[in-house]
């Protein structure tokens, strides 16, 4: 096969393949061309071309989320890699194996007045699992070994982004024929740690606490964990709270945390607060549950999982068990036989039922609004889709509705930025062409990341629902700015830019709706797809209404009197 | 006046005003709202609202370039500040006083699972002049003093970006009435260092070298420096080479370096190479002159100016004189009386005339192409405009034509990235509404940064010329990929996306031309402006031709036989 004529590049690419990397998103440039050629020609690597590096890195992340393997993003020297940084930070907090490969100039030309040259080493220090620098004088054995070592970090240990900074000398475009023999992919044979007897004792003791809450943050779909959790749920002394980003849907527990919390009045708060809090997974969307647990701190908080063991979200962390989630639950079932039963979990579940009923009642007559548009959107998404929720208000609105079991939910809750939602969905759609991917996103997030659509791939399996409320709906949810008379400009991002033309610029089919009826009339066409349908975008206009008043009424309707 | 009720915020904002900051570009968010309120309400501060932080920071930089004062960019916590990074690096290398102000959560909540929280401290370490962190417990005197200290760095010493990271606690939106008394702006009274007698001796000695070249990189317009340089130019032993980004137009020296170098054949190379190289200003666009001087290294290279004194672009640096450019030239005139005259400078100027004549001759019959489109574009720009040149091929094409004296030339040659050219021009146009600003940019750069147009400001004084050659024209100039058969996708960014619809999405008037005649027919309308004209965009299509062949022929026509 053909490759770059640079031995260091050949060795590095081969090591990436051995480590299990199968996909590289390349952003065109000159300095990185040796690497582009070597990856593109390699039969084990699928490459994509994306120009805007900010978007490219989020696309790479979206692919990695779907294929659950390290995905490379490859850029030229200079400011290109700085545009990767928002996605690197997101991958860091969301624990996604994003592999940044930046071409660089030889060291002697750094800060010497050459174009496209910055100090690339150490740029990501705050948000990376590791970084290596190679140049053409690097010893080839070291290149191979240290590449595999860095991959091992995010394969055997906690996932996250890593960075290879590779200095290349001109000429950059020369190729050569190399052996067709493909390197053997490493069987990493990941070993999970287990609990020791001391830890088991702590757990046994802790389980004696009567009010036990399991709170689960963002997780990829995990059918085994779901089944074990259902067994735990049969013990009514456990309240189990999940979010739709937990990807754990069951009638046995509480899905809509904010909705359920709303039924608990101030006198009941203490009663519902747990003595023992067990947390799994990544970020929690609900600010209310965080505030609630910080106010009524549990006697013990166990954090389960290998990532961020020191993270003390509720200021009450007593133990961090760095084992796999399912293994911990298995152990819990094995040792929990002595628990004295109580109805703490049932009480939470009961409130969930009440809240759900009141919410459904309220929604029957709700005027068309952000809330209604989200309800209708979620109702209409074809079964089995992957739902990508934009940040800010969208992901919060979505948390007010029970998750649909057949769906898989995604949202960039690592840094919770409004940057990159569209690109992440594009990446997911590229990685799983046989599945329908539906992005629900606010107008500000959509415009922010509209370069996600600036690519040559015809994605028949991507649908984008833009909730256009004129911008900045989040500030109606968090309430602060409503009391501030001035500066409305800053806190609500009112604008009148045209999504329709952005769609047209990138060859995306455009649909529009300003009412429930118009939404329903469009749905069949919108979700129809064949091998030529391409991306479709449905813009839902809700500017005409005071969305925050509807939301206030929603919560009032749920509140216990 | 009204301000945030937070004393630390009041003190910080007041110190910024005292330091001479007059403008802040705000990106909406929640965590930064106390700062937004305080800046927005301050009568001495002009604020703008831009959503996409990547674009906002380049807009801030464009404003700072025009007003020659520190400009703030203010964002919320989390990944927002990472989107600033490309502009921070550009400001670092281009020496522009960009003041990054990032809101943060209180330290105890960093890496504890809260949304929009990353490790903000130290993110810009590689490319910043300094960074300070404040929180609401910071001593107010320290806040004031350290703020002024950090500003003093980029005011009294070398310019460049600085970073204030400010942790804020809820509630964030509360305001209070504070004294209307405005703080006294500091008179920084910048002192420039002078040359000592030892240095004067070195200079006197160096001037004895017969072949003296003055090479000037990127500089803001400097009429005094221009006048002094003209006096030096009368000494024919000096060859003076400038680029259009040097903003120094005169018949007395060589403007188009690549064009002139093309007339020097391999036998003549040594003859034209300088014994003494004196360099002023920032980045040099011409790769050829860099390669030429690295190949034929001067006996002495003096670098003049306070920025990057150690930068050894030609591997021949002998002295760095950290004094102002004009002061150095003044000194040179004062002490150079003993120079034995020679015609080294005249020889260079003669070649420049020859090259210019051949170029003009060639251009008469050149078919419509990138080269021709740039020629016509430059010819038609109204006198006195500010020209913003996109990176990659555009700035290189522009260097082939003599600069127009009444124009001011800008280009992001700090990192030479394709990111941010449109935003920088938008910032410049916002800052100088009474001047016409013309951006000439390639299609890839335009799409990359099209969010620059996503703002509510009606810029009647901005014209955008997009040279649409189907993408990636730079790779035809640098020649490498032309010899590479495969991977055309990667090196030329062919695409068929529609600039017209991007223009429509953001309310920009669209013009199109595919020939010189069509260009000329549009020009009057395109450049017409009144208080309602808004931004206009002219897309020039040159895909139909092999642009790189035209460029080859251009250089062949200039070459001496």
Q: What is the pLDDT of residues A315-334, one digit of tens each?
A: 999 999 999 999 999 999 99
Give the one of B290, B472, B497 whose C-beta lies nearest to A506's C-beta.
B497
Q: What is the distance between the alpha carbons of residues A371 and A378, in angstroms, rounded to a whole number?
A: 11
Residues β-bridged to residue B102? B75, B165
Which run of H or E residues covers position A441?
strand A437-442
Q: What is the pLDDT of residues B254-282, one digit of tens each?
A: 999 999 999 999 999 999 999 999 999 99
To the nearest 10 degrees (0 to 180), the angle between helices A325-335 and A223-233 is 30
Spatial CA neighbour of A475 closest among A491, A486, A488, A490: A491
SS3 (DSSP) at B280: strand
Pairing of β A408-411 and β A536-541: unpaired
Mean pLDDT for B166-183 is 95
Lowest average pLDDT, out of A27-36, A233-242, A477-486, A489-498, goes to: A477-486
pLDDT at B482 over 70: no
Q: What is the pLDDT of residues A332-367, one digit of tens each?
A: 999 987 788 899 999 999 999 999 999 999 999 999
Which run of H or E residues covers position A154?
helix A140-156
pLDDT at A480: 52
SS3 (DSSP) at B413: coil
Question: Model confidence at B156, in pLDDT bands (50, 70, 90)?
Answer: confident
pTM of model > 0.95: yes
Pairing of β A71-75 and β A276-280: unpaired
8 Å CB contact between B119 and B110 = yes
Pairing of β B162-167 and β B98-104: parallel
E runs forming strands in B18-139: 23-26, 46-49, 71-75, 98-104, 131-134
pLDDT at A545: 79
Residue B40 gets which letter from DSSP?
A: H
From B109's Cα to the closest Cα of chain A, the distance in A is 8
Structure tokens at A533: 């349908």
pLDDT at B543: 83
Q: Where does CATH 3.40.50.1220 sit in chain B? A: 197-352
Question: Model confidence at B486, in pLDDT bands (50, 70, 90)?
Answer: very low
Question: Which residues 46-65 on chain B approach chain A with CB closer than 8 angstroms?
Answer: 49, 51-54
The answer to whether residue B291 neighbours chain A at the CB level (below 8 Å) is no
Structure tokens at B57: 């920071």
8 Å CB contact between B487 and A40 = yes
Question: Model confidence at B472, in pLDDT bands (50, 70, 90)?
Answer: low
pLDDT at A470: 82
Look at the block and give the residue holding tokens 């030529």.
A532
Q: Name every chain B residue with its beta carbon within 8 A of the beta carbon of A415.
A: 78-79, 115-118
Q: Name every chain B residue with its beta carbon within 8 A of the beta carbon of A112.
A: 311-313
Mean pLDDT for B93-108 is 97
Q: Do B498 and A504 touch (CB under 8 A)?
A: yes
Residue in A35, A82, A539 to test binding to B, most B beta-carbons within 10 Å:
A82
Q: Name every chain A residue with its beta carbon within 8 A of the beta carbon of B127.
A: 118-119
pLDDT at B475 over 60: no
Q: What is the distance between the alpha carbons of residues B521 and B200, in angstroms, rounded to a whole number?
A: 57
Mean pLDDT for B52-76 is 98
Spatial CA neighbour of A268 closest among A206, A188, A347: A347
Phi, psi of A442 (to 5 degrees): -80, 165
- Sheet containing strand A238-242, edge to edge, reads A238-242, A212-216, A276-280, A300-304, A317-321
Spatial CA neighbour of B91 closest among B66, B127, B55: B127
- Our CA angle for A478, A480, A484, nearest 5°, is 145
Lowest average pLDDT, out of A547-561, B121-135, B467-481, goes to: B467-481
Look at the block and give the residue holding tokens 């046995």.
A252
H-type helices in A19-105, by residue range? 33-41, 53-67, 80-83, 85-94
Residue A254 gets which letter from DSSP?
A: B
Q: Do A451 and B454 touch (CB under 8 A)?
A: no
Q: What is the CATH number of domain A366-559?
A: 3.40.50.970
Lowest average pLDDT, out of A448-462, A476-490, B327-341, B417-431, goes to: A476-490
The answer to whether residue B72 neighbours chain A at the CB level (below 8 Å) is no
DSSP string computed for A190-251: PPPP---HHHHHHHHHHTTSS-EEEEE------HHHHHHHHHHHTSTTEEEEE-GGG----T
Q: What is the pLDDT of residues B399-441, one digit of tens each?
A: 999 999 999 999 999 999 999 999 999 999 999 999 999 999 9
pLDDT at B158 over 90: no
Residues β-bridged to residue B254? B241
Spatial CA neighbour of B392 closest among B448, B444, B450: B444
Phi, psi of B503 (to 5 degrees): -60, -50
Structure tokens at B381: 């720009």
pLDDT at A485: 42
Which run of H or E residues covers position A280?
strand A276-280
8 Å CB contact between B67 and B22 = yes
Residues β-bridged to residue B71? B23, B98
Q: Do B505 and A497 touch (CB under 8 A)?
A: yes
Buried b (16+ CB within 10 A) or exposed e, B144-155: bebbbebbeebb
Residues β-bridged to residue B512? B539
Q: What is the distance between the alpha carbons of residues B552 and B559, in angstroms, rounded to a whole number?
A: 11
So what's the architecture of A197-352 in CATH? 3-Layer(aba) Sandwich (3.40)
First-to-final CA distance of chain B? 73
Q: What is the distance between the alpha carbons of residues B237 and A115, in angstroms, rounded to a whole number?
A: 30
Question: Model confidence at B488, in pLDDT bands (50, 70, 90)?
Answer: low
Name the CATH topology of B2-171.
Rossmann fold (3.40.50)
Burial class (CB in 10 A: 0-12, 13-18, 19+), B352: buried
pLDDT at A78: 97
H-type helices in A241-305, by residue range? 257-261, 269-272, 287-295
Buried b (16+ CB within 10 A) or exposed e, A255-274: bbbbbbbbbbeeeeeeebbb
Pairing of β B386-389 and β B317-321: unpaired
Q: What is the pLDDT of residues B336-353, one digit of tens each?
A: 877 888 999 999 999 999
Mean pLDDT for A7-20 is 98
Asked if omega into A167 is within 30° of 0 (cis), the reply is no
Sign of the four-CA dihedral A430, A255, A406, A550: negative
Question: Model confidence at B561, in pLDDT bands (50, 70, 90)?
Answer: low
Structure tokens at A123: 């740029």
pLDDT at A339: 82
Question: Which residues 324-383 on chain B approach chain A with CB closer than 8 angstroms?
Answer: none
The 10 Å Cβ neighbour count of residue B312 is 18
Residue in A133, A487, A539 to test binding to B, most B beta-carbons within 10 Å:
A487
pLDDT at A157: 82
H-type helices in B407-472, by residue range? 421-431, 443-448
CA dihedral B206, B210, B215, B216 (to 10 degrees): 60
Question: Which residues 137-196 on chain A approach chain B with CB closer than 8 angstroms?
Answer: 170-173, 175
Q: Where does CATH 3.40.50.970 sit in chain B? A: 2-171, 366-559
pLDDT at A477 over 60: no
Spatial CA neighbour of A179 closest among A330, A13, A394: A13
Q: Name every chain B residue with its beta carbon within 8 A of the beta carbon of A308.
A: 111, 113
First-to-final CA distance of chain A? 73
């Amino acid at each position: 096969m053909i490759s770059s004529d640079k031995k260091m590049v050949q060795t590095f690419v081969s090591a990436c393949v051995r480590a299990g990397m199968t996909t590289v998103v390349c952003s065109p440039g000159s300095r990185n061309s040796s690497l582009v050629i070597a990856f593109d020609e390699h039969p084990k690597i699928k490459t994509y071309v994306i120009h805007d590096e900010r978007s490219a890195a989020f696309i790479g992340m979206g692919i990695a989320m779907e294929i659950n393997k390290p995905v490379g993003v490859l850029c030229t020297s200079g400011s290109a890699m700085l545009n990767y940084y928002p996605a690197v930070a997101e991958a860091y907090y969301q624990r996604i194996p994003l592999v940044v490969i930046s071409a660089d100039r030889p060291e002697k030309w750094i800060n010497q007045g050459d174009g496209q040259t910055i100090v690339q080493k150490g740029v990501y220090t705050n948000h990376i699992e590791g970084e290596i620098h190679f140049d053409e004088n690097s010893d080839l054995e070291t290149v191979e070994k240290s590449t595999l070592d860095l991959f091992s970090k995010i394969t055997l240990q906690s996932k996250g982004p890593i960075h290879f900074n590779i200095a290349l000398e001109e000429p950059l475009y020369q190729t050569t024929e190399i052996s067709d023999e493909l390197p053997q992919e490493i069987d990493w044979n990941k070993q999970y740690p287990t609990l020791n007897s001391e830890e088991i004792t702590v757990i046994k003791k802790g389980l004696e606490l009567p009010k036990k809450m399991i709170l689960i943050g963002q997780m990829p779909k995990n059918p085994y964990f779901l089944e074990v959790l259902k067994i735990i749920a049969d013990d009514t002394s456990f309240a189990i709270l999940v979010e739709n980003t937990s990807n754990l849907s069951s009638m046995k527990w509480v899905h809509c945390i904010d909705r359920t919390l709303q039924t608990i009045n101030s006198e009941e708060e203490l009663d519902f607060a747990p003595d023992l809090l067990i947390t799994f997974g990544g970020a929690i969307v609900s600010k209310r549950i965080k505030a609630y647990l910080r106010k009524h701190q549990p006697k013990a908080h166990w954090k389960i999982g290998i990532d961020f063991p020191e993270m003390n979200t509720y200021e009450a962390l007593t133990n961090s068990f760095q084992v796999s989630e399912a293994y911990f639950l298995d152990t819990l079932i094995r040792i929990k036989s002595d628990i004295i039963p109580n109805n703490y979990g049932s009480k939470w579940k009961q409130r969930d039922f009440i809240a759900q009923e009141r919410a459904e009642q309220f929604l029957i007559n709700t005027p068309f609004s952000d809330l209604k548009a989200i309800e209708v959107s979620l109702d209409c998404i074809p079964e089995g889709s992957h739902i990508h929720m934009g940040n800010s208000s969208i992901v919060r609105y979505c948390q007010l509705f029970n998750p649909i079991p057949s769906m898989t939910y995604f949202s960039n809750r690592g840094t919770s930025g409004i940057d990159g939602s569209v690109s992440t969905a594009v990446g997911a759609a590229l990685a799983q062409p046989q599945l329908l991917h539906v992005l629900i996103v606010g107008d500000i997030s959509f415009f922010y990341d509209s370069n996600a659509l600036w690519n040559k791939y015809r994605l028949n399996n991507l649908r984008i629902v833009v909730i256009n409320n004129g911008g900045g709906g989040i500030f109606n949810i968090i309430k602060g700015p409503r009391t501030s008379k001035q500066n409305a400009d800053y806190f609500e991002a009112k604008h009148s830019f045209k999504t329709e033309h952005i769609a047209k610029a990138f060859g995306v089919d455009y649909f529009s709706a300003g009412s429930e009826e118009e939404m329903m009339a469009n749905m069949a066409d919108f979700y129809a797809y064949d091998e030529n349908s391409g991306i479709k975008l449905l813009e839902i206009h809700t500017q005409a209404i005071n969305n925050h008043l509807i939301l206030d009424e929603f919560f009032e309707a749920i509140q216990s009197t």
